[in-house]
Amino acid sequence: MRDKDYIYDAIVIGSGISGGWAAKELCERGLKTLVLERGRDVTHIKDYPTTNMYPYEFAHRMELPYAVKQENPIVSRCYAFREDTEHFFVKDNEHPYIQDKPFDWIRGYQVGGKSLLWARQTQRWSDYDFEGPARDGFAVDWPIRYRDIQSWYDYVEKFIGVSGNNDGLEILPDGYFQKAYPLNIVEQFFREKIESRYSDRHVISARCAHLSNPTDVQLGQGRVQCQNRKLCERGCPFGGYFSSNSSTLPYAAKTGNMTLRPHSVVSSIIFDEATQKAKGVMVVDAQMNESMEYHAKLIFVCASTINTNLILLNSTSRTYPTGLGNSSGVLGRYLAFHNYSANIRAEYEGHLDYRTDGKNPAGGGYIPRFRNVKKQETAFLRGYATTVNASRPEVSDTKGIGDHLRESLLNPRLGNWRIGSHIMGETLPKESNTVTLSETQKDRWGIPLVRIAIDYDENDRLMTRDYCDQMSEMFAYAGFKNIEAKVKDQAPGLDIHEMGGARMGHDPKDSVLNKWNQLHDCKNVFVTDGACMTSVSTQNPSLTFMALTARAVDYAVREMKKFDL
């Protein structure tokens, strides 16, 4: 390579949901952009090896062998880690980390990152979410409100394609939707029962990034209508759901402005003491184990929450000895996540003249937050959202022997309806929730191992108890039977919604980023993945990451044109 081959207008670290959007927006604005991905290359359609396989074509019928589970106790706890998807997950021994407190860190190191694996739920935030810290005084105030990001939600939704209804709810703003996946008969029954009794509780069709009725925008991306296969984590050859691989990265590539470099582990950002700006990044080639530098005027850090914290903390200099942009001392602190620690199951003996047929990729119903919305009304801060879904499975009598058993197995009957729900609670970004670097242990690339200390607290326990009580009450009111609420003994992390550590804020003294996702201390570096989040709300976060990324790129390019960056 020649020296000039190492110089770009912009560098994007990471190729997942945020990195893909950064690449698309930068390239479309004419910037020669280097996208660095620490994992292997995955090309849409070509590199989805299991996408069209039948269960009988897998050696273990999609179940993981016992030995694989034993070797991977952390990632094996993830619901999507199966024989048909394991190639998209980081195995436990591939990038170890130190658990100062139990934390299940689920990762996907490949081009596209976890956008190949996400649950595709897409809800906007409202001002109730952005104003939460200011209202209850926990953490710092968000430097933006819904009006600052509304048009960017519009922009992203029109491009990626989101199914849903305009439900007219103040707590969950409407958007640009394709037709919703409808609730089934029992989910609709539950909705009617709940809304007849509770004025503040709403059961809506879940909003998801699936193409139920693709527009010319998505067809122009080479994507077509979702086939409702629900094999999404294998990679979708139809582009029926949004991923970086099927959408933003190909759009960036077709501009001719993107250089994509997989197997590139970013160890740190290079800070220029003379200009007080970043001038590039240090990269370790994961295959050759060689170090190299790439330079650019603009850097977007989208490596995923914990890895973004790792990179910033490891980017030390004379000016910033504890990490790039850490004059506040809060870098790597105030992380939070979503509380998924409880679920409820029940049965329903009604509507037995109906059954479920086909598959709903949206997952069924969604109940937006209804606790502590307009005022503090419980012993815990913030609130929770929840899912609700119903299905009617076939059952067989396995108690007999001989002819009776054979006939029962060959002729299953429809059982009662089964209803399920799980909590998605907002945890508080505590100072004690930290990501730090080991002083003695390093990974295979010579980078310090990350130490994670994140846990639940009494606020989470009170919230979980309230969820169990309230959902049990609602299930009972709907006439459901055999209600069983279960609090799971699981560590944080399996929600795969970790956020914070490089939070946004008004004041450089207590935050890392300003309202444009720009480092207070280094104005040509932007962070737009989960690390930027000041609080976590109750909604799935990916849509907000995408909107923040598009907004930040727009600002950064405008500033570059004014020579203010």
Whole-number Å distance between alpha carbons of 537 and 444 = 36
Q: Which residues pair with 442 in a beta bridge?
A: 448
Question: What pLDDT shows up at residue 320?
Answer: 97
For the beta carbon of residue 396, count every other beta carbon within 10 angstroms. Answer: 15
Per-residue confidence (pLDDT) for residue 563, from 0 to 100: 83
| Strand 499-501 versus strand 365-367 pairing type | unpaired
Band of the pLDDT at 4, cuts 50, 70, 90? Answer: low
pLDDT-based confidence at residue 1 (cuts at 50, 70, 90)? very low
pLDDT band, very low/low/confident/very high, at 97 (cuts 50, 70, 90) = very high
Please report, to the nearest 10 degrees, the dihedral formed by the alpha carbons of residues 270, 271, 274, 279 taken in order. Answer: 50
Spell out the domains of the chain, with CATH numbers in brackets. 3-429+456-561 (3.50.50.60)
pLDDT of residue 24: 98
pLDDT digits (tens, 9 = 90+) for 16-65: 999 999 999 999 999 999 999 999 999 999 999 999 999 999 999 999 99
> 441 by DSSP, 3-state: which?
strand
**pLDDT score at 226:** 97
Model pTM score: 0.96
pLDDT tens track for 220-252: 999 999 999 999 999 999 999 999 999 999 999
Whether the pLDDT of residue 94 is over 70: the answer is yes
The whole-angstrom separation of Cα 20 and Cα 115 is 9
- Whether the pLDDT of residue 407 is over 90: the answer is no
> Mind listing the pLDDT tens digit for each residue in 457-488?
999 999 999 999 999 999 999 999 999 999 99
- Give me the mean pLDDT over the 141-158 stretch: 98
- Would the pLDDT of 423 be above 80? yes
Q: Which pLDDT value is given to residue 3?
A: 52
Identity at 392, one-letter amino acid code: R
State pLDDT tens for residues 264-285: 999 999 999 999 999 999 999 9
CA 111 vs CA 15, 38, 41, 504: distances in Å: 6, 8, 5, 27
